[in-house]
Structures are given as structure tokens and as C-alpha cells.
């Protein structure tokens, strides 16, 4: 069957109800897979360190199927909710007489097990980055080769010129087209750089560029670029074309390294900007909020013109995987990074923090995070949830679920870059 006007997937997305169902399905499967990979890291490392494991579950909620291994005694289960899974280790949260209990292992072994989940997400991020880079028809560099019919950056007092090799934007080094897009994108969120051009009736920004022109390194001050805005987030836009590089084995690995560096930089700088108050917590998307971006990415890919490969979903998948890995390793209560912090204290002072006190800190920290996020989003007042959350935090299933949901928190800044890459 030949579709003359639109592809099969594009035709699916033309039906709103099908689009919604596909978005929900893909989002659930994506987060489920990412969390499964995370828990698989804990499981494999725990087996390597000979920790007693009670259960390794795919999914959460009511058990649909379960089988106990005769060799290891581990229950392998399939549960109703396809949102990842979990590893139940003996002695993880309470004291246990089992000689192979988690809390009886050497501190470096426990740290390795705790960190393994985040590192597995980072490893997956590297693999996805490699695949993403391979899908590029060409690798884009940092040299200006042309302009559209009208642009602002070549009309200002110190303009960009064709042939300029852009070395840095406001002091941040760039080597690829992807890095240029990101730095301009991020600069548009700086209120000190943004202004309104009354004559053009447009919001603009001014940045400083370091370029290599005719073999000489020069600094261009107050180069003008347009600014866009989406759901409260302002971002700068590129208004020139950059050069394309030939693909080779060496250039592929070089671009994978640069893209992965950019992924890490993107996540940490976004979180740092959040802490500085540059963005509000209402601009954080959890799994539910990110579903809208997933749907948009799928639609972008489905409706791409012939010969055009946007790979928006793959890009989003890659960023979320890296985000999960890095965010999970931060010293935040209830997450693996918070557990690593207590294990580090034990390593330094040669004495573990009692499990009951560590558990109390994780519970209180989790409560504060949940209440902060709910109040920022205008949800139900925190007081109503205090007793419920306090009781339910005693449940391992609930703790694991909230652990995963918090790991899935993602600033809209990185995912909005999808829209400015074309």
C-alpha cells in the first residue's frame, strides 16, 4: 500500500484519540524500561556481591505471575503496573540475621550496589547517544556558512559573518552545531540579556561570541539573536546555518563524546539554574508532564517530510536516561544518592548510621520533596497528606514508586530544545 500524502504513522497521529493512546503507551513503556534497567543494575551488582535477594520484580502493584528459583531461592515476579520494577534485598531497610544481608556487606560493596542503578542508566544513555549520533545524515560543525533571507546576528553593530568559526558563546566553548543550539537556547532564559525591540515588536537578546575569523581570534560584543517562549520558558534561537562535516569512524566517536558531554552539562546546568531560582518548580515535568513532550516528539518524527530525520523521540529518550542516572546519584533523601551519602559517612567515620535514623531522614526528606512539589503545582494543600504519606512511606512499594517518580523529574528546558533543532 502506498500513501501519497502522508505516512502510516502520520495518519495515525491525525486521529487525536489514537495519538493520545499511543503517547500514553509509549511513555509508560519508556519509563518502565528505564526503571527496569535501573533496578537491573542493582540486581546484577547485588548478585555479584553475594547479597541475599528475596525478589526481583518486573513492574509494580499486584503480582500476576511469580516463580521461585530452585537454585537461588529468588522470587522472579511479573506485576500488574508496567512502571519498572524493584529488587528486594535482605537487610536493605531493617536488621537481618542473614549473614549475606545487605547491611552486613562491606561498605564499598554496598556503595557499589547502591550506585549501580544510576550507572546503568548512564550506560544506557551512552548507548542511546551513540545510536542518536549515528542517525545524523551529517555532523554539523561550528562555522557559519549562510544566512536565511533575513537574520539579526549579521545586522547588528558587531555582526557575525560567513566563514566565522564560533569558539564560545558568553564564555561557554562550542565545537558542534548541537552545542551552539544549546548555548543560544539557554542564553535566552537570562533576563539580563533579553530585551524588547519596540521597532521590530520582537523579544531579542544580546550575547558575546568569540570567533575565529581569517585565522584571528576576535570577540564580538552584543550579537543579536531572536528569543522564543514556550510555557513560561524563554529561549534563544539560531538564525544562521552552520557547516556540515563528513562522517567517518573518528568523527563519529568524537561527536558521541561531545554529545554525551552536552547531555551531562544540560542536566546539571538545568538543575543548577533551578536552585538559583532561574526557573520555578512549576517548570519541572515529572512522568505525567513529560508525556506531552513524548507525544510531541512522536508526532514530529511521524510527520517529518521525506528524507528528513528528526529523531526527536530518540533524543528525548537519551536525555531522560541520562537525567535519571545523574539525578538519582544526587544526595537527595529517599534516592540512591541519599543512601550513598550515609554510606560515605560510614566509610569516613568507620561507623554506620543506625538504620532507623537513616530511614526517618529518608521519610522526612521524601515528605518535604512531595509537599514542595505539590504546593508549587497548586495541588492539594500539604497538611492533608502529612499523615497519609507518613504511614505509606513505611511501605517499601510506596517508597520505591516515589523513588522512581522523583527520578523521573525533568526540567522542560532540555526537552524544549527538540523544537529549536530543526
Given this model, what pLDDT does residue 222 score?
92
C-alpha cell at 101: 544481608
pTM of the model: 0.77
**Is residue 99 situated within a structural domain?**
no
**Residue numbers of the domain that contains 182:** 140-245
C-beta separation of 179 from 142 below 8 A:
yes
Alpha-carbon span 75 to 57, nearest angstrom: 8
* CATH code of the domain containing 233: 2.30.42.10
Distances (CA, A) of 101 to 74, 93, 166, 181, 328: 14, 10, 56, 49, 23
pLDDT at 331: 82
- pLDDT value of residue 345: 87
- Write down the pLDDT at residue 178: 85
Q: What is the pLDDT along the chain (422 residues), one digit of tens a residue?
A: 333 344 444 554 555 666 777 777 877 788 888 888 998 999 999 999 999 999 998 887 888 999 999 888 999 998 887 767 789 899 887 788 899 999 889 999 999 999 999 999 999 999 999 998 888 878 889 999 999 888 889 888 888 999 999 999 999 999 988 899 888 988 887 878 888 877 767 889 999 999 999 999 999 999 999 988 776 677 888 889 999 888 888 889 998 999 899 888 887 887 777 666 665 555 555 555 566 667 666 666 666 655 455 677 888 888 888 888 888 888 877 678 888 888 888 888 888 777 666 767 766 666 665 555 444 444 333 333 333 333 333 344 444 444 544 444 454 555 555 555 54
Q: Are the C-beta atoms of 260 and 129 separated by less than 8 Å?
A: yes
Whether 266 maps to a domain, the answer reads: no
Q: Rounded to whole angstroms, how far apart are CA atoms 280 and 284?
A: 8
Which pLDDT value is given to residue 310? 61
Predicted pLDDT at 419: 52
User: Is 180 inside any structural domain?
Assistant: yes
Backbone torsions φ then ψ of 100, nearest 5 degrees = -100, 20
Residue identified by cell 528486594 is 88
For position 124, what pLDDT does the model report?
95
pLDDT reported for residue 276: 67
- Cβ contacts of 79 within 8 Å, gap of 6 or more: 57, 58, 59, 60, 61, 62, 63, 64, 85
User: How many angstroms separate the CA atoms of 268 and 161, rounded?
Assistant: 32
Residue 210 lies in a domain: yes
63 occurs within a structural domain? no
First to last CA, the chain: 30
113 lies in some domain: no
Task: Establish if 32 belongs to a structural domain.
Answer: no
355-380 exposure pattern, b = at least 16 Cβ within 10 A, e = fewer: eeebbebbbeebbebbbebbeeeeee
Looking at residue 415, its pLDDT comes to 52
Give domain status of residue 240, yes or no: yes
Total structural domains within the chain: 1
Per-residue cell: 320: 531522560
Amino acid at each position: 500500500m502506498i500513501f501519497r500524502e502522508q505516512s502510516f504513522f502520520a495518519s495515525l497521529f491525525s486521529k487525536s484519540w489514537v495519538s493520545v493512546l499511543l503517547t500514553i503507551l509509549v511513555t509508560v513503556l519508556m519509563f518502565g524500561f528505564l526503571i527496569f534497567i535501573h533496578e537491573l543494575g542493582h540486581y546484577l551488582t547485588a548478585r555479584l556481591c553475594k547479597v541475599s535477594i528475596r525478589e526481583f520484580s518486573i513492574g509494580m502493584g499486584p503480582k500476576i505471575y511469580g516463580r521461585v528459583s530452585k537454585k537461588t531461592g529468588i522470587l522472579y515476579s511479573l506485576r500488574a503496573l508496567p512502571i519498572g520494577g524493584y529488587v528486594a534485598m535482605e537487610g536493605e531497610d531493617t536488621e537481618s540475621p542473614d549473614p549475606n544481608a545487605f547491611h552486613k556487606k562491606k561498605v564499598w560493596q554496598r556503595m557499589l550496589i547502591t550506585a549501580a542503578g544510576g550507572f546503568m542508566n548512564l550506560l544506557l544513555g551512552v548507548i542511546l547517544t551513540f545510536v542518536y549520533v549515528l542517525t545524523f545524515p551529517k555532523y554539523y560543525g561550528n562555522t557559519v556558512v549562510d544566512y536565511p533571507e533575513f537574520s539579526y546576528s549579521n545586522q547588528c553593530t558587531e555582526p557575525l559573518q560567513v566563514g566565522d568559526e564560533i569558539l564560545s558563546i558568553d564564555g561557554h566553548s562550542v565545537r558542534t552545531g548541537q552545542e551552539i543550539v544549546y548555548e543560544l537556547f539557554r542564553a535566552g532564559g537570562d533576563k539580563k540579556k533579553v530585551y524588547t525591540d519596540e521597532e521590530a515588536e520582537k523579544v531579542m537578546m544580546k550575547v558575546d561570541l568569540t570567533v575565529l575569523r581569517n585565522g584571528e581570534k576576535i570577540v564580538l560584543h552584543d550579537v543579536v539573536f531572536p528569543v522564543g517562549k514556550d510555557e513560561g520558558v524563554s529561549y534563544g534561537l539560531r538564525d544562521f546555518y552552520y557547516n556540515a562535516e563528513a562522517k567517518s569512524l573518528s568523527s563519529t566517536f568524537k561527536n558521541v563524546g561531545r554529545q554525551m558531554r552536552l547531555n551531562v552539562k544540560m542536566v546539571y546546568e538545568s538543575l543548577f539554574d533551578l536552585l538559583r531560582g532561574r526557573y520555578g518548580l512549576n517548570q519541572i515535568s515529572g512522568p505525567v508532564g513529560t508525556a506531552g513532550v513524548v507525544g510531541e516528539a512522536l508526532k514530529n518524527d511521524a510527520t517529518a517530510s521525506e528524507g528528513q530525520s528528526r529523531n526527536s523521540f530518540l533524543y528525548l529518550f537519551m536525555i531522560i536516561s541520562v537525567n535519571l542516572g545523574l539525578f538519582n546519584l544526587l544526595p537527595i533523601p529517599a534516592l540512591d544518592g541519599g543512601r550513598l551519602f550515609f554510606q560515605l559517612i560510614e566509610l569516613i567515620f568507620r561507623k554506620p548510621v543506625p538504620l532507623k535514623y537513616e530511614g526517618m531522614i529518608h521519610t522526612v526528606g521524601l515528605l518535604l520533596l512531595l509537599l514542595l512539589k505539590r504546593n508549587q503545582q497548586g495541588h492539594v494543600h500539604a497538611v492533608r497528606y502529612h499523615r497519609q504519606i507518613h504511614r505509606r512511606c513505611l511501605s517499601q512499594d510506596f517508597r520505591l514508586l516515589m523513588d522512581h517518580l522523583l527520578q523521573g523529574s525533568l526540567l522542560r528546558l532540555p526537552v524544549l530544545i527538540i523544537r529549536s533543532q530543526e
